[in-house]
Amino acid sequence: RAQHVEELDENLKQLLTAGSSLGGARPKAATEIGDQPWIAKFQARNDSFPECRVEYATMRLAGECGLNVPALDFKRVLERDIYLIERFDRIPHGNWMERRHFASGLTMLGAHESEVSRYSYADLAGALRQHGTQVRQDLHELFKRMVFNILVTNDDDHLRNHGFLHDGKGWRLSPLYDVVPKPQVGLERRLVLGVGPEGRNATLENALAGAAVFDLGQEEAEAIVAEMRAIVAARWEPLFEEAGLGQSDRGRFATCFRLAGDDE
């Protein structure tokens, strides 16, 4: 394999000799590309589907839906997939790196891992109201993220997968990260966090019923949902295809996006 490494450009070589490893379920490492800090997520040997490609395509879809998404990239190195997401908790300053204060939703709510299913998006909204500096903007963003998770069947929306960044005066929602659809057999969907009056039921009706929590009027919330549904329905498959996912894989994930095309 060494001869293949020599053929790689310098940026890709850095990925193979990346810095300190990071936590989480996926194999990943911190690296730098063009003096900018990134996180590289790697294909695992036991992956049952091309997870790097799926996450890359889904995050691009989130960006098209208007969500706050970091810069993204995808590479093939030594016949292995690498998904890249730019770090938002570091700011480069020449030969040194400024660290931005980051807190997960778990930390912001003072919650424990064992009780995360007791919490809801309304609780995260409450944290923004209490500590946020751009409250209305971030409440709307949080509502859109909840709706997006419903539309793409991302049921790994636990508190660690929601982040906050300190801007010097208070807290803002961090850019989006760790969104991966999960194929479903049954029709009923549930998120980890509570959605609306019907608890964790992952329906658009449930999300709309709790729109006031996010400082949204009913008509405004319905317009947001309608626009996001249309984008997800029209764009998920082209983006998956652009990410190199074949017809078989796209067929497997079609159930994740069923709600975007259904009349609820």
Over the stretch 198-255, which tens digit does the pLDDT of each residue have?
999 999 999 999 999 999 999 999 999 999 999 999 999 999 999 999 999 999 999 9
Residue 4 scores a pLDDT above 60? no
* Mean pLDDT of the 74-88 span: 93
Rg (CA), the chain: 19
CATH class, domain 101-261, is mainly alpha
Q: Which helix (H) or strand (E) holds 82?
A: strand 80-86
pLDDT at 107 over 80: yes
| pLDDT for residue 24 | 59
The residue extents of the domains of the chain are 2-86, 101-261
Q: Which of 121, 116, 143, 252 is nearest to 198 (CA)?
A: 121
Q: What is the pLDDT of residues 168-202, one digit of tens each?
A: 999 999 999 999 999 987 778 999 999 999 999 99
Q: Is the pLDDT of residue 264 over 60?
A: no
Residue that has been written with the tokens 């329905």 in this structure: 233
Q: What is the pLDDT of residues 83-92, one digit of tens each?
A: 999 999 998 7
Mean pLDDT of 60-86: 96
Q: Provide the CA 67 distance to its chain's centre, in angstroms.
A: 10
Query: So what's the pLDDT on residue 95?
Result: 80
Q: Which CATH class is domain 2-86?
A: alpha beta
pLDDT score recorded for residue 184: 82
Comparing CA positions, the residue from 163, 193, 194, 199 lying closest to residue 178 is 163
Beta partners for residue 72, in sequence order: 85
